[in-house]
Chains A and B, each alone.
Chain A
Amino acid sequence: MATIEHRPASGGIGESVLRKEDAKLIVGQGRFVDDLVLPGMLHAAFARSPFGHARITGVDRSAALALPGVAAVLTADELGIAGGVPCASNPTGDTRQPRQPLLAEGIVRYCGEPVVMVIATNRYTARDAADAIVIDYEPLPAVVDGRKALAPDAPLVHGQYPDNLCCTLRHETDGFEEAFAAAPHVVRSANFNQRITPVSMETRGVVADWVRASGEVTLYTSTQVPHFVRTFVAVINETSESKVRVVTPDVGGGFGAKLNTYREEYLACAASKIVGAPVKWIEDRSESHNATIHGRDQHQQYEAAVEADGKIRALRFRAVQNNGAYLQLLTPSISHLTVFMVPGPYAIENISIEVRQAFTNTTPTDAYRGAGRPEATHGLERLVDEIADELGLDPADVRRRNFIEEFPYTTSVGLSYDSGDYGTALDRALELACYDTFEERRAEARGRGRYRGIGLSSYVEVCGLAPSAVTKAIGISAPGWESSTVRMHPFGKVTVITGSSPHGQGHATSWSQIVATELGVPFDDVEVIHGDTAFAPYGLGTYGSRSLAVAGAALYRSVQKVKEKGRAIAAHELECSVDDLEWADGRWSVKGSPERGATIQGLATSAWVAANLPPGLEPGMEATTFHDPPNFTFPFGTHVCEVEIDPETGRVEVVGYVAVDDCGNVINPMIVEGQVHGGVIQSIAQAIFEETVYAEDGQLRTPTLVEYQVPSAADLPRITSDRTVTPSPVNPLGTKGIGEAGTIAACPAVVNAAVDALSVLGIRHLEMPMQPHRVWEAIRNANPTGAAR
């Protein structure tokens, strides 16, 4: 069998080491949930609501039960589960948290809400049976738009509340109105950050195996948060947490959508217990379009009080967040992250924020790559361009003039930015993008009948989630620390067990690099295990660009503990004091006589043999750390986009893209660049292509990948990616996080570029996605005679 040879480079921190993860994935030997087969395994399928809002008046299961191979047809009654899909977020203390039953009870509140679960011998039969169930519905009035849902006469999504308000987030600095009134100019920017569908290429899927005789339950699930899932399975399925094992095999992308626990996880466990066999459920792609959370869906308005030189004196932010029909794990916290990032990279002392969250008859929204931060950045960066436009200033100058200069900096929303150098990243981006000579390219494009524009976006984001005292303070009932174990084997090989739960980020590679550098062992001697709650210490998982800043720090600290234990053993063996030893190249040796020393591998052997250890020292070479970060980290950067627009078709084409990001110190530049590429492209996809659309009655108009346009390689540009390096003081590695930077920065850069391109026609605003018909219409409306063509 052909295999990949790892590159012999030292494999340490800072090198573009090729990934260990690849070897099996490029030969088809990955193990994703749908690849698993257990003895006697049955398959699940669901009958889901075709209505956005309806009363269930009857369920006839007889045709399904009559099909050969059908083991069970379950409704909420048969399940008898009192709990609902959990939400761990209550940002206001009085956030309305309606129960989300696992299967609908009497009323369905969004298209795709499951009503009946079928268990059968194979997936074809399960589907047949689900389709054979007859459910009678009485449609009810629906509301799908967040703003309309908050109107006084809107249909109620949850009859037990007087309106559709979930909660209101507010923050205002003292003296805000006076400060706002004092500045000479007021500039506004209103934007709709549209609803989008995450589309990890692997949909969700589970295999649940509830062994009735012992009560042990193993759940294989495609998730970013295996330990959360275990905790909540224990709660919802009413068993002991120590009986539950959650395993995440290879995971085919998550993008926040798998930072959640879903009803199918609990239902598969319950069904497995009922039928006495393992149960598999693999989400169909089309099912995924309404059964898995959506992202964004925020109507927002920024208003700035500005000096003539573009300096922002006060900022008002108002938004309506569409939460969907129910709350998933962190739904109400997503727009809370927007609140945190409202002032962005700018020194703005006076701020007033109000975000109203609404229930609607739509799939719940929750974290989608960027998670609340892109919404803030988009509106703010559109606003800054509006300010430049109204005051006749260069957009780069307006940014520079408002940038925070001194760090740490406490913002008007109370965050303490750890470190930064925003101007340098901006300068570098402008240089790489040849900003100075742009007008020549604009003129040249005009000669070809096309409109060319350039757009900037400067951002800062909040990563390294999160100090546990802070998560509690902001109403999240889960901590923010992370765990790691470093285990040295008798002959010096290393196993790392991490609480992070990667799904494409390459932690096995990066974590091995950290160990290689810090412990002085070969890169290839390190194996990294993640995503199995049976032998990993509790971990919070991978999301919010947190893993390197938090799990990486936990790993660093475990390595230091192992190293220190080795030092004690070395001192004992060499009959000297620990203070007489120095560390270099994986060895402890006596200062001044380097030949007297011991390698960490040799010391690991000594710790295992345990025949000559210092008094009181335990055998074994292993350490575990639970690291609670003292602060968030704040990556930043500037992106520059150039677009060309064909006025005949309205097509927006990205013709140049420069990303300059600062994520602090970097472990593996290749992986960082890959994250930037992926994030930027996903955001360009939002800016130009993707939108999840509902009809007024609650029907999903983008139910498959045919209607929902995920762009391909043919639609997308190359990206030039560069970095500045401003280490974070928050963790010992000086890292910040990079997973979401691209999705945060790119949308406004692209829209600013498109608006700049069409500014000659008097166009000052374009909504996302800038699909051809929308842009073509804007051009036609701006210029009905076609004169400027």
Chain B
Amino acid sequence: MRSSIRITVNGVEHDLEVEPRRLLVHALREDLGLTGTHVGCDTSSCGACTVHLDGDAVLSCTMLAVQANGRSITTVEGLATAGGLHPIQTAFHERHALQCGFCTPGMLMAGAALIEGNPEITEAEVRQGLEGNLCRCTGYQNIVDAVLVAARETARA
């Protein structure tokens, strides 16, 4: 049994036929070929799969594709605009906030949602806000710094 859904991903509308149990992350990765969103766990623990659903950061591994029917999704592939990289992408590069890069898409999406409209966010708030995103490489320090830099940058932009 399959269900028909319509989702908008990075501004493009898609009609999909999915099994009701299909996870959103698999629809994004396998049905739409958007492999930037990663799967790091099976217990909603790591945040690697974070995307924006109508502007809010959500775990795409913890939601069914059918639940996203009619909604608008942004993945890491849609974070940059025609005008250039999102400030958080630039900051991650410039602050050496990634090593293997596997957690990075989730960190970027979680971080971008965190600083949206919150340019004065503090280090403690960033650390708390990224609690659901695990990184095994960086020790987090440069990630936290990059998010702070990006937050200040969005205020200036």
Contact = CB atoms under 8 A, between A and B. Distances in A.
Of all A-B residue pairs in the complex, the 8 with the closest CB atoms, nearest first, are A28-B36, A252-B102, A25-B101, A504-B100, A681-B139, A677-B139, A504-B99, A705-B45
A201 B98 contact: no
B107 to A, nearest CB: 9
Contacts of B100: 200-202, 250-253, 503-504
Contact of A285 (B43, B93, B104, B138): B43
Given A26-B93, A674-B138, A681-B140, A285 B40 contact: yes
A21 B101 contact: yes
Interface in A630-679: 670-671, 673-674, 677-679
A704 B46 CA distance: 11
B140 A716 contact: yes
A3 B89 CA distance: 10
17 contacts: A2-B83, A4-B90, A22-B98, A22-B101, A26-B85, A26-B98, A28-B77, A34-B38, A200-B102, A201-B103, A252-B101, A253-B136, A673-B96, A674-B139, A678-B136, A710-B45, A713-B144
A543 to B, nearest CB: 15
B39 interface: yes
Contacts of B132: 712
Contacts of B92: 22, 26
B75 A28 contact: yes
Given A706-B43, A713-B127, 10 more contacts: A1-B80, A3-B85, A27-B79, A28-B105, A34-B38, A504-B101, A674-B99, A679-B139, A713-B143, A713-B144
Interface in A195-220: 199-203
A685 to B, nearest CB: 9
Interface string B29-41: 1100011111111
A2 B139 contact: no
A679 B140 CA distance: 11
A27 B77 contact: yes
Interface in B70-102: 75-77, 79-85, 89-90, 92-94, 96, 98-102
Interface residues on A, range: 35 or more
A286 B123 CA distance: 32
Determine which residue in A123, A200, A674 has the highest number of CB atoms from chain B within 10 A of its CB, and name it.
A674
Given A22-B92, A714-B128, A714-B131, A680 B45 contact: no
Interface in B121-157: 126-128, 130-144
B89 A26 contact: yes
A441 interface: no
Contacts of B77: 27-29
A78 interface: no
Interface of A: 1-4, 18-19, 21-23, 25-32, 34-35, 37, 123-124, 199-203, 250-253, 255, 282, 284-286, 503-506, 670-671, 673-674, 677-682, 704-706, 710, 712-714, 716, 718-719, 742
A682 B99 CA distance: 14
Contacts of A716: 127, 139-140
A124 B127 contact: no
A168 to B, nearest CB: 34
A691 B135 CA distance: 18
Nearest to A253: B100
A201 B102 contact: yes
B141 A677 contact: yes
Interface of B: 19, 21-22, 26, 29-30, 34-43, 45-46, 48, 75-77, 79-85, 89-90, 92-94, 96, 98-105, 108, 126-128, 130-144
Contact of B102 (A3, A29, A253): A253
B46 A26 contact: no
Contacts of B137: 201, 253, 504, 674, 678
Nearest to B48: A201
B102 A712 contact: no
A4 B93 contact: yes
A447 B108 CA distance: 41
Contact of A202 (B21, B102, B130, B139): B102
A386 B142 CA distance: 35
A719 B141 contact: yes
Contacts of A124: 19, 21-22
Contacts of A677: 138-142
A253 B140 CA distance: 15
A719 to B, nearest CB: 6
Determine which residue in A124, A681, A712 has the highest number of CB atoms from chain B within 10 A of its CB, and name it.
A712
